[in-house]
Chains A and B, each alone.
Chain A
Amino acid sequence: MVKVQHEDFDAGAEIAKLRLSRPDIGAVAVFIGQVRDINDGSSVVSMTLEHYPGMTEKALEDIVAQAKSRWDIFDALVIHRIGTLQPADQVVMVAVAGAHRGAAFNACEFIMDYLKTQAPFWKKEVTGSGERWVEARDSDIVAKARWDQ
């Protein structure tokens, strides 16, 4: 399941829902990303996330489908927030349920690496010295590329 929303999310409740959805789940791997108060040497006051309505949901659904085709997992949840967030706010959550931890860990990391480079979100930060768009990182492209080998 994929959700793009302004509201915060309750990670515990989301994990419980996924965990209890079927009795043959043996592993749930979870990643939560949150806003840092510093980026590239500047203090971050707030961050605004823009996206491409329609494409965002499709891109995330496609990434989850790819993960399901690559690993033996039962289900995956992606929640990504949009709008203006403050340091320590939750930004993104990925949770993957499967029979065993190996596939769940891998699929969770795969989904995040693809989300970082394929899903149409853009971050703009307000720092102590003004506004700036966050630059894409080459390390994210490298992280995604290792799944393509």
Chain B
Amino acid sequence: MHLPVSVAQSLTLTLMLKLLYFARLREVLGVANEELVLPANISNVTGLMASLAARGGVWQSQFDGSTRIRAAVNQELVANSATIQAGDEIAFFPPVTGG
């Protein structure tokens, strides 16, 4: 069965995560943002970080727990145990230094 293109697109969109990287993390990774299909076995921030670390290289050194990284889900600061679902906007960044 062929779905109309618009339906197929919206189905794809609902399965996507929007990832954002800020400050030193953005510079080290060389990426400011990306869209990712939520892997079926991932339900929280810790799981997502592990899958990013599995990319190897700088991703591993930033997301394997050896670097202090904070996370926000849908623009709210969360603990790494926070659950995530398709459609979420998830941001990773170093501890904040404003003020």
Contacts and interface: CB of A to CB of B under 8 A. Distances in A.
B96 A92 contact: no
Contacts of A101: none
A21 to B, nearest CB: 25
B23 A122 contact: yes
Interface of A: 33, 49-52, 54-55, 58-59, 80, 91-92, 112, 115-124, 133-136
Contact of A117 (B20, B24, B96): B96
Interface centre among A52, A92, A120 (most CB of B within 10 A): A120
13 contacts: A33-B99, A51-B98, A52-B20, A52-B93, A55-B72, A55-B76, A80-B99, A120-B72, A120-B91, A122-B23, A133-B97, A136-B68, A136-B94
B97 A52 contact: no
A54 B75 contact: yes
A79 to B, nearest CB: 12
B23 A50 contact: yes
Contacts of B23: 50, 122, 124, 133
Contacts of A92: 98-99
Given A116-B96, A122-B22, 11 more contacts: A52-B20, A54-B75, A80-B99, A92-B98, A121-B99, A122-B93, A122-B98, A123-B97, A135-B97, A136-B94, A136-B96
A122 B70 CA distance: 12
Interface centre among B22, B24, B95, B98 (most CB of A within 10 A): B98
Interface string B11-43: 000000000101110000000000000000000
A136 B95 contact: yes
A54 B75 CA distance: 7
Nearest to A62: B76
A105 B98 CA distance: 20
Given A52-B22, A58-B75, A122-B24, A112 B93 contact: no
B58 interface: no
A54 B22 CA distance: 13
